[in-house]
Amino acid sequence: MTFPPLPPSPLRLRIDRAALAANWQAMNRLSAPGRAGAAVKADAYGLGAGQVVPVLAAAGCRDWFVAHWREVPDVIAHVPAADVAVLHGPLDQADVAFAMATGVRPVLNSLPQVARWLAAGGGPCHVMVDTGINRLGLAMADLGDPMLARLDIDLLISHLASADEDTAQNAQQLAQFRAACGMVAARRHSLANSAGIALGGAYHADLTRPGIALYGGVARPELAGVVRRVAHPEAAVLQVRDLAAGDCVGYNATFVAQRAMRLGVVALGYADGYLRCWSNRGALLHGASRLPVVGRVSMDLTAIDLTDAPDLREGDWLAVDYDLPQAAAQSGLSQYELLTLMHRRFARTGQ
């Protein structure tokens, strides 16, 4: 069956491309004496790899990091495959074959992965070493294994566990990483994420891997005023209703009108990442007017108080009050969750 063109979505995620490019350039400047790559996993933290990667490439980024092999096609459609690293590494021969065929770089996280890569003929790769987060990566005790000397390692990587805090763990991991660099031959080295960049030059090595800071998240106080907002979600008003005093709104009647009021119902719900934690506490914006969420957020719909926007009609657009640091403080969600929760029903647009 041939379908007519799809109607426009009542949800849109406006991406400030100038802010995105400026954020990478700021992280690159702060990464001295190294330079910055970009974490574009999880579909560029929910913003859309197809939207993000070309902007960052034009800004000067040359190193890209995804988590899953299935994330590769959306990235190498825009940049050379050899510049893309897959953090989860090759779990089986299918992963190895994919890496060999495309030219993307696997990040080897265990001795079995090292053996698997070498058995297939090897080639340029990256290696992750665990320095204290106890997630992916070779243990420090594994670094003396003779297989590592047979690898063609471009990048030796580790990951900071608590760079967003002032904790002794940061210095401990740095010391472990420096020890690893002395044990494993690699052309380049990488330790710092967005928060790690703000810890200073000792953590920067040759390449940093900013993620959240590129997309408007403030991972440490030092980055406030440096990082610009990138993501601007917007939702359309589907219906306007008049309520009388005593009328209830939403599931389980958690809001009861105390007076006659106008209500707007917008095309936004927890299926779109606007979770129930915003019930009776979030807001949408109409210019300078803040329109509070009333009642429970449901799967596809959210109700708002239109008292301060008496002229709003069906089809009008509203901005979601979603500045990442402020929204995280208000909702209890992390800035990472706020971004990556926004789902496919948002039409991605740029400016």
Q: Which residues does the annotation mark as catalytic? A: 41, 251
Reduced to 3 states (helix: H, G, I; strand: E, B; else coil), residue 333 is: coil
What is the enclosing helix (H) or strand (E) of 64?
strand 64-66
Residues 6+ apart with CB under 8 A from 1: none
Reduced to 3 states (helix: H, G, I; strand: E, B; else coil), residue 241 is: strand
Contact criterion met (CB below 8 Å) for 304 and 266: yes
The DSSP code for 35 is E
Distance, CA of 206 to CA of 158 (rounded, Å): 12
Which of 309, 297, 323, 304 is CA-nearest to residue 238? 304
| Cα–Cα–Cα angle for 153, 159, 165, rounded to 5 degrees | 155
Residues 6+ apart with CB under 8 A from 176: 131, 132, 140, 158
Distance, CA of 344 to CA of 134 (rounded, Å): 32
Numbers of helices and strands, H then E, in the chain: 10, 19
The DSSP code for 308 is T
What is the enclosing helix (H) or strand (E) of 113?
helix 111-119
Contact criterion met (CB below 8 Å) for 76 and 50: no
Distance, CA of 333 to CA of 274 (rounded, Å): 11
Distance, CA of 339 to CA of 322 (rounded, Å): 9
